[in-house]
Amino acid sequence: MQEYGTDVVAGVTPGKGGEEVLGVPVYDTVEEAVEMEDANASVVFVPPAFASDAVMESLDADLDLCVAITEGIPKHDMIRVNRRLQEVDTRLVGPNCPGVITPGEAKVGIMSGDIFDSGEVGLVSRSGTLTYQLVDSLGSRGIGQSSVIGIGGDPIIGTDFIDALRAFEDDPETEVITLVGEIGGSDEEQAAEWIEEHASKPVVGFVAGRTAPPGKRMGHAGAIVSGGGTGTAESKMTALKDAGVEVAETPMEVAEKVEDLV
């Protein structure tokens, strides 16, 4: 993040306050870091058992943004976090995500900054790996990104598709939105409803997991089809198409469809 240009002003590790790492002062609490360094965002790399406490510290410190990289935070912990999110203005991205990046300006998270180029396509994705593949495909066609948000693949997350879509809809730098989903849950179907009712910008979609068997978890904790007619790649693709989204069959086709729109 430092190398990319993000202004990393503090680190937080309880008991390590007063130390310095890579020229960055370390504090015992997020509250101290905010008070002393005027930090407005945090990124959480804390192990799963303790990660929710680190996120809650960020929320209690009234930060604008908290990005939780950690995978495997217990669901009960995330229920507690999400309840607290309703009471604060902090935006939580993740957990189990690669973070966010505005190419050429800053990144918070673990995305490889050198594959991104500034441009007019906003990308929101549940999959970090697919994000990199699509950004590479877009870049090979000379298409850059306004911002990229990895919302994470856990069952309970902070920022969801609708939150990201709303942000891109309000962003003057974004002209086309790309949505990358996967099997499991109903977030993509809900996003389709929002797109149909509110989106004025064109949306290109892709849903991973078309060949995944029901009941089998594929990668992410949230990527499991549990039955009931929703959660499959087919149901998500149908919902998106019905909402007017250009849905690609393959990751490479996403770039082709975006190229026709920019």
* Residues taking part in catalysis: 220
Write out the two tokens for 60: 């209690």
Closest listed residue to residue 248, CA positions, set 168, 174, 179: 179
Helix or strand (DSSP H, E) at 106: strand 106-109
List 43's β-bridge partners, or say none.
Answer: 67
Q: In the structure, how many helices (H) and strands (E) does the chain have?
A: 8, 13
Helices (H), 39-186: 48-60, 75-85, 128-140, 161-170
Closest listed residue to residue 96, CA positions, set 61, 137, 122, 129: 129
Burial class (CB in 10 A: 0-12, 13-18, 19+), 83: exposed
